[in-house]
A and B are shown apart, each in its own frame.
Chain A
Amino acid sequence: NAGVTQTPKFQVLKTGQSMTLQCAQDMNHEYMSWYRQDPGMGLRLIHYSVGAGITDQGEVPNGYNVSRSTTEDFPLRLLSAAPSQTSVYFCASSYSGTSGALSYNEQFFGPGTRLTVL
């Protein structure tokens, strides 16, 4: 298993440009999410998905779009990049778990994409 993969590893954009960060997982996980990491702020949730065709906003969704057409892929789109979006982006996935008994499901993280917006 490759686990969670992300491309590209590094990207430099100019203000106003658009791009898509790719994320894929081969573990058949229902749940996928995108985080951004900024110094001193930990990781903050941007968007998440509980399954194909279902997405929802996280803590910091503005400026980002997502879609989930397959279980495996969860791309993150920046429509018009801004310097405030300079960050390291992590994709994660996990098994969703079931209702009833508590579920403590580890999220598996990709290696990250380091994005700079000039």
Chain B
Amino acid sequence: AQSVTQLDSHVSVSEGTPVLLRCNYSSSYSPSLFWYVQHPNKGLQLLLKYTSAATLVKGINGFEAEFKKSETSFHLTKPSAHMSDAAEYFCVVRALRAGGTSYGKLTFGQGTILTVHP
């Protein structure tokens, strides 16, 4: 079984200040982890994904996330928010079965709406 908890349903920041969106996960198998962004009335776009090569993952638009196995967390950060970052963000876990074959089932968190004030 796998699950994802996004700890904040809404986050509000001022333009130019840091962004922190929190995500905790649980998984019976070694997980792969993703952050997706959804702008209003749009589809989902991949921001970044975790690979076993590095625990600090860099994505598009200045976002990055750190995988912490001991804390089962995968928080998303950005040093300086921009107005265009206002959107809904989803933390997603994709558990891999023993043996490494991916069946592709994604489990989504509930989403965090990021508001950026001028």
Q: Contact at B109–A40, with CB atoms within 8 Å?
A: no
Q: Contact at A96–B102, with CB atoms within 8 Å?
A: yes
Is chain B's interface secondary structure helix, strand, loop, or mixed overall? loop
Number of chain A residues close to chain B: CB under 8 A? 31
Which of A33, A44, A105 is the one whose CB lies under 8 Å from B102?
A: A105
Instruction: Say yes or no for B25: interface residue by CB 8 A criterion.
Output: no
- Interface segment, A12-20, A65-73, A79-87, A109-117? A109-117
A82 to B108, CA, bound (A): 24
Taking CB atoms and an 8 Å cut-off, the chain B residues in 32-82 that contact chain A are 32, 34, 36, 42-46, 49-52
> Which residue of chain A has its CB nearest to the CB of B30?
A102
Instruction: Say yes or no for A41: interface residue by CB 8 A criterion.
Output: yes
Q: Contact at A58–B105, with CB atoms within 8 Å?
A: yes
A28 vs chain B, min Cβ distance (A): 15
Q: Residues on B close to A: CB < 8 A?
A: 4, 9, 30, 32, 34, 36, 42-46, 49-52, 90, 94, 96, 99-111
